[in-house]
Amino acid sequence: MQSGSAAEHSAREATEATEAHGGQPDGRALAPAPALPYAAVASVLGALYFLYSWVQYDRFRTPSWDLGIFEQSVRAYAELRAPIVDIKGPGFLILGDHFSPVTALLAPLYWVWSSPLALLLAQAVLFAASAVVVGRTAQQVLGSRAAGIGLTVAYGLSWGLQEAVKSDFHEIAFAVPLLALTCRALLLGRWTAAVAWSAPLVLVKEDMGLTVAMVGAVLLVKGQKRLGAALAAFGTVFFALTVLVLIPAASRVGQYDYWAKIEKSGDGADVSFLDSVVGAFQHGEKWEMVLFLVGVTGFLCLRSPLTLLVLPTLAWRFLSHDPNHWGMFWHYNAILMPVVFLALVDAVRAVRTSPRPWLVAYGKVVVPVVTAIAIVHAMDMPLRELLRAETYRTDARTLDARRAVAAVPEGTSVETNVTLMAHLTGDHTVYWVGGAQGVSPDYLALDLASGWSQPVTDPVGLASQLHPEARYAVSAQAGQFVVLRRQ
């Protein structure tokens, strides 16, 4: 009978052989999984994502200004103009805010369908495509179609993706399938493919350079020293180039504004980097997010080196003093989902040769358990709204919002808040309320009750405060929405 250390050594050798051959411990290649079953499941998931997004948009429930921002940016690319986003300020070049040139790839879609809904459809398709990658990889690595389909469903219903769908469109929609493909390549021992899929991440958002560097670190762990070191250096250098050179060059203020999320407290006071590090671990929302992140895989993802890829994203979010970055909401967790689910696949494969019987047994049941938990948890997540009849009803507020939009003539300039913003960007020059300094827009279209603003009781007075050089009068009112025209 083998000793514990000898058994563990044999297990490590078997796992290394598996990784080196991209297949079973005996060196046999893994059979590719058929795409059709996963494409069918992913099509249903994508339809649910887009249906939720469409209903939210159509009912004027947009949660932030981001959809309007990306609509202006992609529309500019489609018209072969610089990505000027007036919502961020008159003439604002969006590459001076976040470095996401990848969104230019959506320009051809706008030539066919010029609407914010086109962005929401693209995101739904990209998320669904990543589910195909996760499911097929699970079947190919674990040798079980049931496991593959189960993880496709669990991943597709995961809280990170659902919250991203609820948050409307963001550039991270491109990172999700790229990370899924990167992790797939790492699992199958396709090292060059891992580099090829991860390198474009630097064009998705400035912080992704550090994630690319971490892919290089995983390659080092896998024994690919030269390739890993080169990729780690590329990711690190590109991150520094982006935040220290490219973004400041495009920014009006000549710097990367988001350093302030680490250097400033919530009330605007200066905070040292050491204090930010010490304070990073003090808020329960952060730890709740981490608990759910690893818990969604039955905690088994922690046994895979792929989990290292979540560290850069978690690091900047922990250091940030902005509570929006801490918890389970918004879109920030979507890019972590393909990583932890494919780390789970890696771990299930690895524990099959564990000398610990309880761990082997756990590895055999963890996939159905994770799938069941994901389905139950989904009943308390955004997509559950699709099961409620009231979700599809057109209420009085929606009708009032449509009247307000119709009251702003096409081709005019308008200053507005979140509720109406994405509905006006298509055929108007749109500014954010309070962000149109030096400009007197033709119209103000206000949601008096909400839209990231304090309730407005005197819209004419607000217009005079924002633009003392001009005079505005109410031209239309519908419920909580008021449209003012410059006299």
Which residues are CB-contacts of 48 (< 8 A; sequence separation ≥ 6)?
A: 383, 386
For the record, the structure tokens of 124 come out as: 């739904």
The string of pLDDT tens digits covering residues 310-365 is 999 999 999 998 899 999 999 999 999 999 999 999 999 999 999 999 999 999 99
Please provide the average confidence, as pLDDT, over all residues in the chain: 91
Residue 171 to residue 66: CA distance in whole angstroms: 10
Instruction: Specify the pLDDT at position 10.
Output: 47
Q: What is the pLDDT of residues 264-287, one digit of tens each?
A: 766 667 777 777 776 777 788 999
Over the stretch 166-206, which tens digit does the pLDDT of each residue have?
999 999 999 999 999 999 999 999 999 999 999 999 999 99
**CA proximity to 185, closest of 173, 196, 172:** 196
Q: In what order do the strands lie in the sheet with 413-416?
A: 429-432, 413-416, 443-447, 481-486, 472-478
SS3 338: helix
Domain boundaries, the chain: 31-61+93-387, 396-486
pLDDT at 268: 65
Q: Which candidate, 375, 11, 389, 367, places its Cα nearest to that of 162?
A: 375
How would residue 34 be classed by pLDDT, with cut points 50, 70 and 90?
confident
Phi-psi region of 143 (alpha: psi -120 to 50; beta: other; left: phi over 0): left
Residue 330 tokens read as 């918004």
pLDDT at 21 over 60: no
Q: Say if residues 184 and 342 touch (Cβ distance below 8 Å).
A: yes
Residue 432: φ, ψ to 5°: -85, 140
**pLDDT exceeds cutoff 60 at 16:** no
Which of 116-130, 312-326, 339-353, 447-461 is predicted least confidently? 447-461
Q: Where do we find the tokens 């690190």?
A: 236
| Listed residue (190, 194, 170) closest to 181, CA to CA | 194
Averaged pLDDT, 126-130: 98
* Dihedral sign from CA coordinates of 454, 460, 461, 463: positive
pLDDT tens string 57-67: 999 999 999 99
- Tokens representing 333 are 């967790």
